[in-house]
Amino acid sequence: MRISNQASFFANLVGIEANTANTLKILTELSSAGLDLLPSTMQEISNPMMPPTQRLRFASANGEIEINIGTGRLDVIQQRNFMVPESELGSTAEFATLVSKCLKSVLPQKGVLANRLALIVRVVDEALSPETMHERFRTLFNAPAFYKGNVPTEWTFRANVVSDTEFGGFSDRINTILKIERVQGQAIDSAGGWKEFDRIFTEYDINTVATNGAARFPYEVVHEFIGSASKVLDDVESDLASNVS
């Protein structure tokens, strides 16, 4: 079950300060784009020796859509509302359209260019039996003997591949990071009570490499980047499913 989509636009956004003028301007643009989001602020810690900086944040009343505007990155997040059982995320193409609307509404001028782009998708498995979770561990790891005889109840698998991709007239190198972990803990259920959980979470993080720091990506290509990244994600997800089923 996909629980969140996130797109990140890494750029110099220092000028979008948390003030009344910027808040009103962005709210007007968001409303024109059909997005009903509420303004607030968040604290950004860019230097541990300096006090936090107040930055703008916009979110829907139900928490399903969120825009965070830092000094060096803008995140658009779409997440499943667990308080509404029938809540589901739309397609990746629909998310790309949402991101384009948000970027067009937020960016102060069309000349703002990003030096990096990212698509992050988070997935959680339905409840699995302990044996199925043990088998998932055995599939992903060639573990030391101790962990084969005493199967761990918490674990993390992470791998990255650097490859080439093309989108919007750009040819770029991308990281494709796969992270899978078994997590146990407590969460609030739809009735407002605490409930124990033991689930496997998967995160796909596809981003342009950090070695090229040139500001080059206009917001218009983000839609195409998400489309290209989602194809890579689908391939990895399909391959993973065939190996752990």
Tokens of 214: 């040139």
Q: Is a pLDDT exceeding 70 seen at residue 32?
A: yes
Tokens 């407590």: give the residue.
Answer: 186
Using one digit for the tens of pLDDT, what is the confidence trace for 152-199?
989 999 999 999 999 999 999 999 999 999 998 876 666 667 778 789
Q: Residue 146 is part of which domain span?
A: 2-244
- pLDDT at position 243, please? 80
Length of the chain: 245
Using one digit for the tens of pLDDT, what is the confidence trace for 40-60?
999 998 777 788 899 999 999
Using one digit for the tens of pLDDT, what is the confidence trace for 202-226?
999 999 999 999 999 999 999 999 9
Q: Is a pLDDT exceeding 70 seen at residue 82?
A: no
Which residues are CB-contacts of 234 (< 8 A; sequence separation ≥ 6)? none
Using one digit for the tens of pLDDT, what is the confidence trace for 94-140?
999 999 999 999 997 668 999 999 999 999 988 898 889 888 998 99
pLDDT above 90 covers a percentage of the chain that reads 70
Q: What DSSP state is assigned to residue 86? A: T
Residue 80 three-state SS: coil
Q: What DSSP state is assigned to residue 189? A: -
Tokens of 245: 């089923």
Residue 151 three-state SS: coil
Q: Is a pLDDT exceeding 90 seen at residue 70?
A: yes
Ranges assigned E (strand) in the chain? 2-10, 38-44, 53-59, 65-69, 73-79, 116-124, 155-167, 170-188, 194-208
Q: Could you tell me the sign of the dihedral formed by the alpha carbons of 116, 37, 45, 4, in that order?
A: negative
- pLDDT at position 245, please? 61
Whether the model pTM is above 0.75: yes
Number of structural domains (the chain) is 1
Distance CA 122, CA 180 (A): 10
Question: Are 66 and 77 contacting, i.e. CB atoms less than 8 angstroms apart?
Answer: yes
Closest residue by Cα to residue 195 from 65, 82, 81: 82
Q: Is a pLDDT exceeding 70 seen at residue 8?
A: yes
Distance CA 67, CA 56 (A): 8
- pLDDT at position 191, please? 66
Which residues are CB-contacts of 163 (< 8 A; sequence separation ≥ 6)? 173, 174, 176, 232
What DSSP line would sit under 11-48, residue for residue? Answer: S--TTS-SSHHHHHHHHHHHHHTT---EEEEEEE-S-T
Longest dimension (CA), the chain: 62
